[in-house]
């Protein structure tokens, strides 16, 4: 990931970002447009402070810096990128973009996130999806995590006696497909190997990337 190498420099201003256009997959004009969009989307700490979201029993991080907050992020994913996944996944996506857990997405994280989102390599997209699905960040997707993710994705049938049974079966099936080394949990290596075999499994636990069509149409809005 070439763009990551540049970031220890601590880039925080728009002019600095544009000077570094060589480090991204974006053209200079696109970067300028992304910076402009960023400026329109940012809020300050407290500006949007609503009731605290509780995700997987953990309260979400409060916004401590100026940046794109989770409410704006969710709207952006829904309206601009047509990503209509449910809230747990959107929250995971937000946490992956907000790398320093500051409760808001800084300029550099915004550009980095979009770099993967819109022009990322297959490997970068794999890493992104894996981080989202690894709910407790321990480096493995477990059957419990699959269960939670799939349970949220699937529509409940009220007539079923045990609605969780189908989800358990599906998690079992997913584990069998993805756990290449058969140690009972899915490491990044397992996931990478399985997706090379079967690319459609990349977003097996819910959509977290825009479609090709959405990427093209978003990128076309950045042209001068
Ligand atoms: Ca995990
Ligand atoms: Ca494994």
Fold of the domain spanning 12-47+65-120: Recoverin; domain 1 (1.10.238)
User: 12-47+65-120 and 121-205: same fold?
Assistant: yes
Domains of the chain, residue spans: 12-47+65-120, 121-205
Q: How far apart are CA 128 and CA 80, in angstroms?
A: 19
- Residue 52: the pLDDT is 59
* CATH superfamily name and code, 121-205: EF-hand (1.10.238.10)
Interval 74-108: pLDDT, tens: 999 999 999 988 888 999 999 999 988 999 999 99
Ligand nearest to the CA of 134: 1
Best CA proximity match to 142, nearest among 172, 163, 162: 172
Per-residue model confidence as pLDDT tens digits over 132-183 = 999 999 999 999 999 999 988 776 666 667 778 889 999 999 999 999 999 9
pTM of the full structure:
0.84
- Answer for the pair 102, 64: CB distance below 8 angstroms, yes or no: yes
Question: How many Å lie between the centroid of ligand 2 and the Cα of residue 130?
Answer: 13
In whole angstroms, give the CA distance from residue 61 to residue 85: 20
Q: How far is CA 109 from the centre of its chain?
A: 12
Tell me, in angstroms, the distance from the centre of ligand 2 to residue 208's CA. Answer: 22
- What mean pLDDT comes out for the span 56-70? 80
């Amino acid at each position: 990931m070439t763009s990551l190498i540049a970031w220890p420099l601590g880039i925080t201003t728009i002019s600095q970002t544009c000077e570094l256009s060589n480090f991204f997959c974006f053209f200079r004009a696109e970067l300028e447009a992304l910076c402009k969009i960023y400026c329109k989307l940012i809020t300050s700490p407290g500006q949007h402070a609503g009731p605290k979201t509780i995700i997987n029993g953990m309260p979400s991080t409060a916004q401590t810096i100026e940046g794109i907050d989770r409410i704006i992020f969710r709207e952006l994913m829904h309206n601009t990128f047509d990503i209509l996944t449910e809230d747990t996944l959107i929250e995971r996506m937000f946490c992956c973009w907000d790398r320093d857990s500051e409760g808001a997405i800084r300029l550099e994280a915004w550009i980095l996130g979009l770099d993967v989102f819109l022009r990322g390599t297959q490997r970068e997209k794999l890493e992104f999806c894996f981080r989202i699905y690894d709910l407790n960040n321990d480096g493995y997707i477990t059957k419990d995590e699959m269960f939670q993710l799939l349970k949220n994705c699937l529509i409940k049938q009220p007539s079923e006696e045990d609605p969780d049974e189908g989800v358990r079966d599906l998690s079992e099936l997913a584990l069998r497909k993805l756990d290449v080394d058969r140690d009972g949990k899915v490491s990044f290596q397992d996931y990478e190997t399985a997706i090379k075999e079967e690319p459609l499994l990349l977003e097996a636990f819910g959509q977290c990337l825009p479609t090709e069509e959405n990427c093209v149409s978003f990128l076309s809005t950045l042209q001068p």
